[in-house]
C-alpha cells in the first residue's frame, strides 16, 4: 500500500515497456515491510535534465534508477559522482543526500561481473569483446578491467564513443590491452552484447554468431525477452550464456545498499520477483 509516508524511487528511461526492476524491488519492499516504491517514469532525452532537477525537489523523493538513454547525461546532472561512474562515463543510480546534493553511481558493470562469476567463469587474464560503448557497455568494460581481464576489445557504431572509452580505460589500467578494431567475436573468451540491438523486433544481431567459438561465454544486456534472438543463436552453437536479467538481479544488492536499505541475497530477490515478459 502506498501511503503519505512512502519514499519514492523513480525508474527513469524511455521507453518503459521493457522495464523489469519494479517487479523485483516492489515485491521485496512489500515482503520486508519497507514503505518505498519503484515507479517507472518514461522521460525522453530532450526533457531529462530539466525533469530530473524538478523530480529531486519533491519532498518524498529518495533516489532514482537510471536506464537508457539517460546514463551518460546523468553525470552532468549530479553534484557528486563516484570514481566507478567517472571511469564508465555514465551512471545508473541517483540518491538525494541530507544536504540536498544529488549523488551518482554506476552498478551495471558490477552486476554483470557478479553474474558471470556466479556461473563459474574465470575472468582474470582472459580476453573479452564488448559490443556497445554507451552507458551499460562502458560500465561493463570498466568492471571487466577491474576484474583482471588481460585483453579488452570495444566496438560501437559511434567510433568516437568506443575510442573515448578506450582512452579512459588505458588511463586507469596501464597494463590492460585495449583495442577498438571491430565486432568480430572470433578468439575471445567472453563476448557481450551491450548494445540496444534486440530491443526492437527485426533488429540485426550485434555480431556474426558463426564466428563465436562454442567454448566462448556470451553475455546479453537486452531484457525484452529472457532468450533474445542473439542468445538463441549462440545457444545453438553450444555457448554458455548469461541473460539480461541476471545482470539486473546481481546489481540490486549494491543498489539497495546505496539507497540505505538492508543487505539482501540474490536468491531472495529471485524468489519474490514477479517478472513478466
Give the per-residue pLDDT at 58. 96
Quote the CA–CA distance of 242 and 73 in Å, as a whole number.
28
Q: Tell me, what's the pLDDT at 159?
A: 96
Cβ count within 10 A of residue 262: 10
Given this model, what pLDDT does residue 239 score?
98
3-class DSSP state for residue 130?
A: strand
Q: What is the pLDDT of residues 134-185, one digit of tens each?
A: 888 999 999 999 999 999 999 999 999 999 999 999 999 999 999 998 999 9
- pLDDT of the residue at 135: 84
Q: Which residues contact 245 (CB under 8 A, 6 or more apart)?
A: 20, 223, 226, 275
Look up residue 24 and give its three cell numbers: 523485483
- pLDDT for the residue 248: 85
**What residues in the chain have per-residue pLDDT under 70?**
none
> Cβ distance 264 to 253 under 8 Å?
yes
Q: At what angle do helices 108-118 and 244-258 cross, to 10 degrees?
A: 120
SS3 147: helix
The pLDDT score that the predictor gives to residue 1 is 86
Amino acid at each position: 500500500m502506498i501511503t503519505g509516508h512512502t519514499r519514492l524511487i523513480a525508474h527513469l528511461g524511455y521507453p518503459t515497456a521493457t522495464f523489469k526492476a519494479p517487479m523485483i524491488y516492489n515485491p521485496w519492499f512489500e515482503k520486508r515491510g519497507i514503505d518505498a516504491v519503484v515507479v517507472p517514469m518514461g522521460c525522453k532525452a530532450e526533457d531529462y535534465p530539466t525533469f530530473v532537477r524538478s523530480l529531486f525537489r519533491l519532498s518524498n523523493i529518495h533516489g532514482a534508477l537510471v536506464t537508457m538513454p539517460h546514463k551518460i547525461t546523468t553525470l552532468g546532472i549530479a553534484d557528486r559522482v563516484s570514481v566507478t561512474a567517472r571511469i564508465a562515463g555514465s551512471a545508473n543510480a541517483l540518491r538525494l543526500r541530507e544536504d540536498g546534493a544529488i549523488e551518482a553511481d554506476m552498478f551495471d558493470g558490477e552486476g554483470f561481473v557478479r553474474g558471470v562469476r556466479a556461473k563459474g567463469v574465470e575472468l582474470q587474464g582472459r580476453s573479452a569483446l564488448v559490443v556497445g560503448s554507451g552507458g551499460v557497455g562502458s560500465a561493463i568494460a570498466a568492471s571487466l578491467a577491474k576484474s583482471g581481464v588481460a585483453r579488452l576489445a570495444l566496438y560501437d557504431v559511434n567510433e568516437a564513443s568506443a575510442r573515448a572509452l578506450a582512452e579512459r580505460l588505458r588511463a586507469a589500467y596501464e597494463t590492460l590491452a585495449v583495442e577498438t578494431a571491430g565486432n568480430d567475436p572470433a578468439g575471445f573468451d567472453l563476448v557481450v552484447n551491450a548494445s540496444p540491438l534486440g530491443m526492437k523486433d527485426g533488429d540485426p544481431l550485434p555480431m556474426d554468431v558463426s564466428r563465436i567459438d562454442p567454448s566462448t561465454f556470451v553475455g546479453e544486456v537486452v531484457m525484452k525477452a529472457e532468450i533474445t534472438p542473439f542468445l538463441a543463436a549462440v545457444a545453438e552453437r553450444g555457448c554458455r550464456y548469461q541473460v539480461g536479467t541476471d545482470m539486473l538481479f546481481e546489481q540490486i544488492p549494491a543498489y539497495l545498499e546505496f539507497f540505505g536499505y538492508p543487505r539482501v541475497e540474490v536468491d531472495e530477490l529471485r524468489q519474490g520477483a514477479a517478472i513478466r515478459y
